[in-house]
Amino acid sequence: QVQLVESGGGLVQPGGSLRLSCVASGFTFTNYVMGWYRQAPGKQRELVANATADGMTNYLDSVKGRFTISRDDVKNTVYLQMTSLKPEDTAVYYCRAKRWLEYWGQGTQVTVSS
């Protein structure tokens, strides 16, 4: 049974930091591109960052230099370190695993507000 379980979301003030985690099970983690997506109210879901097992990463332009994606292929976990958070980063953040099939987590809310 495939599972992606996100954690680490919450309420943070502008300029603050959060680290999201996504623990995966039920598939061969290293075969999949792991990514973080987000969806704000009234907006489409968008790719925030993704990472391959061989170290290639890709970022949404608006988060470059502030967010870092990493993966631990021993713990089957992907992380998103978010710094210098802005109110426009407020969204539900989802973990996704993609190869020929794709799997999604349930999402974790990130709210950036003073």
Contact 67, 48 (CB under 8 A): yes
pLDDT number for residue 69:
98
Buried b (16+ CB within 10 A) or exposed e, 21-57: bbbbeebebeebbbbbbbeeeeeeeeebbbbeeeeee
Q: How many whole angstroms separate alpha carbon 52 and alpha carbon 77?
A: 12
Q: DSSP state, 28? A: -
pLDDT digits (tens, 9 = 90+) for 35-79: 999 999 999 999 999 999 898 999 999 999 999 999 999 999 999
pLDDT digits (tens, 9 = 90+) for 2-43: 999 999 999 999 999 999 999 999 999 999 999 999 999 999
Q: How many whole angstroms separate alpha carbon 48 and alpha carbon 80?
A: 9
CB neighbour class for 85 (10 Å; exposed up to 12, middle 13-18, buried from 19): buried
Contact 56, 38 (CB under 8 A): no
pLDDT digits (tens, 9 = 90+) for 102-112: 999 999 999 99
Which among 88, 90, 104 is positioned nearest to 35, based on CA atoms?
104
